[in-house]
Amino acid sequence: MWKISNPFEAVWNILKTTIDNTDEPTSPLNIIEAGDCWTYILMLEEFLRYEEVGLNTTTDDEMNEMLTDVVRLCEGQSRRLKEFMKQEGIPLPNGPSPKPESQPQEVPLGVKLTDSELANGVALKLATCLQICAKAQADSLRQDIGGIWIGFFTEWVTFGSTLKTLMRHRGWINVPPYYVPPGSPQK
């Protein structure tokens, strides 16, 4: 039975497996691996459109900085995955069109999302990207595509810790009610 006591051991096992499999011929992607690429590209494109809307409507400097960072992250992942998909012969999906730039002051108040709504929307989309990356990595039989998913997942975890700090600082985190077991002392 495998027992991993620390994360460094897990990384070492991944690297060892990758090195051990370098002599294996590369098989074509299977339909699930290709479908995971397709799904993720569409998710990234949707996420980018949401971020563009946020950049067009917010006047908050910290929100603007966070949205700019996540745009860079999504664009980088999209570019790398599209290059991989082209190399593998996977057709690219038609995603939503980019949003035109606008000035936040020109957007009517009833149309704008609040900064809290924007931050929580980004957090929700981040959680979805993490789930897709984890599922896709589990579906991967080839080491190269599995490594891509691990890399994307790691980037999201890193960004998520920064987002959570910003959301706590600004009071934007939606905290569920605390669980108090029956019979526990009340404070």
Find the farthest-apart pair of alpha carbons in the chain and give their distance in angstroms, rounded: 63
Q: What percent of the chain has pLDDT over 90?
A: 67
For 13-57, what is each residue's pLDDT tens digit?
665 665 555 666 678 999 999 999 999 999 999 999 999 999 999
DSSP 87-154: HHTPPPP--PPPPPP--GGGS-TTTPPPHHHHHHHHHHHHHHHHHHHHHHHHH--SHHHHHHHHHHHH
Q: How far apart are CA 38 and CA 102, in angstroms?
A: 30
Which one, of 74, 48, 71, 70, lies nearest residue 133 by Cα? 74
Looking at domain 30-90+114-170, its CATH class is mainly alpha
Tens of pLDDT, residues 123-170: 999 999 999 999 999 999 999 999 999 999 999 999 999 999 999 999
pLDDT at residue 87 above 90?
yes
Residue spans per domain, the chain: 30-90+114-170
